[in-house]
Amino acid sequence: MYTDTHAHLQEESLNDSLDKVLARAQAAQVSTIMCIGYDRDSSQEAVQLARKYPQIYAVVGIHPHDAKELDQDTLALLYKLAQDPKVVAIGEIGLDFYRDLSPRDQQRKAFVEQIKLAQELGKPIVIHDRDAHQEVLDTIRREKAGINGGIMHCYSGHLPLAIDLMKEGFHISFAGPVSFKNARKTKEVAAHIPLDRILIETDCPYLAPEPLRGKPNEPANVVYVAQALAELRRKPVEEIAYLTSRNAAQVYRLQ
């Protein structure tokens, strides 16, 4: 059975109704899906979906793109949402210096405030990091952000950075790009890091893996990510499915 550790099931751009998407996931042996929030509305929707469907768990947080909306009312909302037993982490949070849709100072402030929220709640964090690798690592070290564990979502950094992040308590998650032919850096990381730190995800409806690149993504396609990892590690895909699901259960503290 597979675990999709990062999906946005709230998105209307999913190619079909959610019930059909979940049926295809079940047929593909995807037994567990983490529905990730990125702003107030999507975090609330993630919790609603987790309450409705037993295979879905929720992660709540404010994405760096929306960091400018993080005020005390929003922090209080996240704290309240996180009391639900189906909420397993705070995220996705972090820094995005590629698109800069929120000012960088606001991104930094929101990142640290949500790290502190997760620490207060005793929950892991899910980090979005784009073009901000060193600052993300520096923040993690300064704030001891990995004290309750965490995930580097859709990892795009190099191998030495991944090693440093693992030392801070983080798991490394791979999405569709690990299956792309030109993704040499990502493939190198996936081929060399310890198997007990690897996770798989879709980031659906984005980043569909080969052979579906460019199409709307969905949790059933996490199987292709597992197949790409199996080829890199020269392991049966069933072993990758087992290991990554075990790792996900550990970091998200699933019963």
pLDDT in tens, the chain (255 residues): 999 999 999 988 887 799 999 999 999 999 999 999 999 999 999 999 999 999 999 999 999 999 999 999 999 999 999 999 999 999 999 999 999 999 999 999 999 999 999 999 999 999 999 999 999 999 999 999 999 999 999 999 999 999 999 999 999 999 999 999 999 999 999 999 999 999 999 999 999 999 999 999 999 999 999 999 999 999 999 999 999 999 999 999 997
Q: Which amino acid is at 156?
A: S
- The structure tokens 């993504």 sit at 217
Nearest to 241 by CA among 255, 251, 253, 227: 227
pTM greater than the 0.95 cutoff: yes
Domain topology for 2-195+205-252: TIM Barrel (3.20.20)
* Domains of the chain by residue range: 2-195+205-252
Neighbours of 15 (CB within 10 A): 14
Q: What angle do CA 61, 59, 29 make, to 5 degrees?
A: 150
Nearest to 40 by CA among 73, 14, 9: 73
Residue pair 72/55 in contact (Cβ under 8 Å)? The answer is no
Cα 60 from Cα 14, distance rounded (Å): 20
Cα 65 from Cα 43, distance rounded (Å): 14
